[in-house]
């Protein structure tokens, strides 16, 4: 049986398994389920999502999955203190956030962990303009590197941290960020990481335009891109590079777009890049209050590494090359977010890209 047929069965089985969810009080919801995939085998998972728990201003997100070939988990906390109208603007908020995640799957070739803390202030400075600025600290780690992983990853093994400031300007209004039906939004984010082990600057742009063509039909256009540059004579770490694939563009595996260290039967490791672009056009129809379907065309590219990296497969090709795919998507609204199943046919790709014609993702609302 081909891998693509197995992937299709994985998505169908994941949807067929009943999901148990119940209100725990205080705005929290628990969800549990099971799935199966051709690369990771049987997987069971549990999640907890809470918003403004016990009217405390605390939001909570907890996800854990485990299978015969690995596990991953993520804990997210956020405290929002509403300050009302201040000299900074209207609807001012003080936001304290924390995240810890860890992933260790056999097909990745190594385990990763991330801890992040942030303190920010957000305010509306004009009717359709919001400013969000603050400081952050982040620690990352790579360990349990397998023998067939690119030697370029070995130099990143261990722990390193970074800290700095972030500033986001948001223009416009959109009715729903994950499933937009009407409105337009432009986010510009500048990051300056100047402390810790890793120093870099980044500038990212994300734009969404959506219009209702009829009560049950919506057309949306998404555009994104970014540039990341190492500072102070450093090389850009794999922790800070951009990776595409999985959720965007659909039709490609996680990290499936962009520079790779590939040598047949030796290594096949995604390396990311310091430049990226994304675009997506989707026509979506509401089937019911909780179910939707859409047709889409996605495109994207990641490119540019520091220097002239040489891996197990020789010199790494980090040139620009736009990939694209077209397909159909199904959406299911749950308490933990939106479950998205996509069936995609790649239109343009490179020989060693990681393709994923059927994908199953949870788009968290946190």
Task: Tell me the domain boundaries of the chain.
Answer: 80-363
Residues contacting residue 302 through CB under 8 Å, at least 6 positions apart: 242, 243, 244, 257, 258, 259, 272, 273, 275, 276
The beta strands (E) that lie in 87-178 are given as 89-105, 111-126, 129-143, 158-174
- Tell me: the pLDDT tens digits for 42-83? 777 788 888 888 778 899 988 888 888 889 999 999 999 999
Query: Which pLDDT belongs to residue 148?
Result: 86
| Biggest CA pair distance of the chain | 64
Q: pTM for the full model?
A: 0.85
pLDDT, greater one: 205 or 12: 205
Angle of CA points 74, 75, 80, to nearest 5°: 140
**CA 193, CA 205: separation in Å to the nearest integer?**
18
Is 271 in contact with 245 (CB distance < 8 Å)?
no
Q: Tell which residue, 274, 37, 238, has the closest CA to residue 155.
A: 238
Q: What is the CATH number of domain 80-363?
A: 2.40.160.50
Query: Which pLDDT belongs to residue 355?
Result: 83
- Tell me: the pLDDT tens digits for 209-229? 999 999 999 999 999 999 999
Strand partners, 179: none
Helix (H) / strand (E) element for 7: namely helix 3-16
Query: Which pLDDT belongs to residue 68?
Result: 83
Least confident residue range of 105-109, 121-125, 273-277, 352-356: 105-109
Residue 232, burial from CB neighbour count under 10 angstroms (0-12, 13-18, 19+):
exposed
C-alpha 206: how far from chain center: 13
- Tell me: the pLDDT tens digits for 316-342? 999 999 999 999 999 988 766 677 888
| Percent of all residues in the chain with a pLDDT value above 90, rounded to a whole number | 59
Pair of tokens at residue 36: 């199966």
Handedness of CA 228, 234, 239, 241 (dihedral sign): positive
pLDDT average, residue stretch 18-23: 41
């Amino acid at each position: 049986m081909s891998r693509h047929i197995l992937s299709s069965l994985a998505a169908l089985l994941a949807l067929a398994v009943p999901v148990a969810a119940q209100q725990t009080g205080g705005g929290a919801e628990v969800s549990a389920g099971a799935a199966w995939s051709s690369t990771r085998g049987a997987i069971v998972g549990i999640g907890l999502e809470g918003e403004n728990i016990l009217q405390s201003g605390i939001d909570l997100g907890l996800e854990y999955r485990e299978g015969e070939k690995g596990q991953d988990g993520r804990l997210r906390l956020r405290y929002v203190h509403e300050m009302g109208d201040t000299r900074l603007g209207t609807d001012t908020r003080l936001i304290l956030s924390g995240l810890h995640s860890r992933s260790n799957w056999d097909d990745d070739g190594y385990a990763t962990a991330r801890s992040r803390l942030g303190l920010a202030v957000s305010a509306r400075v004009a009717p359709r303009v919001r400013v969000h600025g603050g400081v952050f600290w982040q620690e990352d780690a790579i360990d349990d590197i397998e023998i067939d992983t690119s030697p370029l990853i070995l130099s990143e093994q261990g722990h390193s941290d970074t800290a700095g400031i972030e500033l986001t300007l948001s223009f416009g209004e959109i009715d729903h960020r994950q499933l937009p039906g009407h409105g337009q939004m432009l986010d510009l984010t500048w990051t300056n990481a100047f402390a810790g082990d890793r120093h870099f600057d980044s500038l990212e742009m994300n734009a969404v335009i959506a219009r209702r063509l009829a009560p049950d039909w919506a057309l949306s256009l998404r555009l994104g891109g970014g540039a990341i540059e190492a500072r102070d004579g450093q090389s850009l770490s794999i922790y800070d590079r951009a990776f595409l694939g999985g959720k965007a563009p659909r039709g490609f595996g996680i990290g499936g777009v962009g520079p790779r260290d590939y040598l047949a039967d030796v290594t096949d490791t995604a390396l990311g890049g310091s430049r990226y672009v994304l675009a997506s056009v989707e026509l979506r129809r509401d089937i019911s209050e909780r179910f939707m379907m859409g047709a889409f065309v996605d495109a994207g590219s990641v490119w540019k590494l520091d220097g002239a990296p040489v891996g197990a497969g020789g010199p790494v090709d980090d040139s620009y090359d736009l990939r694209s795919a077209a397909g159909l998507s199904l959406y299911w609204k749950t308490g933990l977010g939106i479950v998205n199943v996509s069936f995609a046919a790649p239109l343009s790709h490179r020989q060693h890209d990681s393709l994923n014609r059927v994908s199953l993702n949870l788009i968290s609302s946190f």
